[in-house]
Amino acid sequence: MRWGGPPCPRRLKPLPTHPTGNAMADKIYTVLFLCTGNSARSILAESLLNREGAGRFRALSAGSHPKGAIDPQVLALLTQTGFPTSGLRSKSWDEFAAPHGPALDFVITVCDSAAGEVCPVWPGQPVTAHWSLPDPAAFVGPVAEKNAFLGEVMRTLQARLSLFLALPIPALDRLSLQSRLDAIGAVREGEPPA
């Protein structure tokens, strides 16, 4: 990812390495998932993490050039599989880059186009990662094939999020956390991390 400010490694802010009291145990981490259109992959990631990480994580999503609508097959899949869809909408990353935006702990791009764009400077000096996924919204073919493709993307995201949720975040320094997030981004459905 290219950011609007100095390169991320030069802006590193250490994460606490030891919990102090219950403050770290009670921390809810804010994660922003980015893709260009904010209509499929980032929406899936937001919904999945909000359910699977409830109480520990707050997931958000946005796009550099949002389409303004969520792919209907993405909404259908989330509904069919019992994931939350209320409050989901296609929106610009500008909502989160503003000075009054939420402090972000993690920013994860899920499409190659967004990863290559110059990104805003995010509030909170988040740890950043790129988890490349193919774009279900760009899939051309019969509905049944698109649904199968979408299911594969969703399972890959679930595998990655499962590993993310298992990370001992308070015990990891920033560079170790960065390394773990990068390794998670290489995981495909059914594969162990590298």
Could you tell me the residue range of the domain that residue 93 belongs to?
27-184
The encoded tokens of residue 86 equal 């209320």
**Mean pLDDT for each consecutive 10-residue tract of the chain (194 residues)?**
39 40 71 95 97 96 94 95 94 90 94 71 90 89 92 95 97 96 86 54
Cα angle for residues 141, 146, 149 (degrees, 5° grid): 125
Nearest to 97 by CA among 34, 154, 140, 46: 34
Q: Is residue 20 part of a domain?
A: no
Q: Is residue 115 part of a domain?
A: yes
Cα separation values, 73 from 44, 86, 121, 136, 169, Å: 11, 15, 32, 9, 34
Q: Is residue 13 part of a domain?
A: no
Q: Is residue 50 part of a domain?
A: yes
pLDDT digits (tens, 9 = 90+) for 27-58: 999 999 999 999 999 999 999 999 999 999 99
Q: Is residue 55 part of a domain?
A: yes
DSSP-derived letter for residue 98 is: S
Q: Is residue 16 part of a domain?
A: no
Q: Is residue 191 part of a domain?
A: no
> What residues contact residue 45 under an 8 Å CB cut-off, 6+ apart?
33, 59, 61, 108, 110, 157, 161
Q: Is residue 63 part of a domain?
A: yes
The total number of structural domains that make up the chain:
1
Kindly report the CATH number assigned to the domain that includes residue 171. Answer: 3.40.50.2300
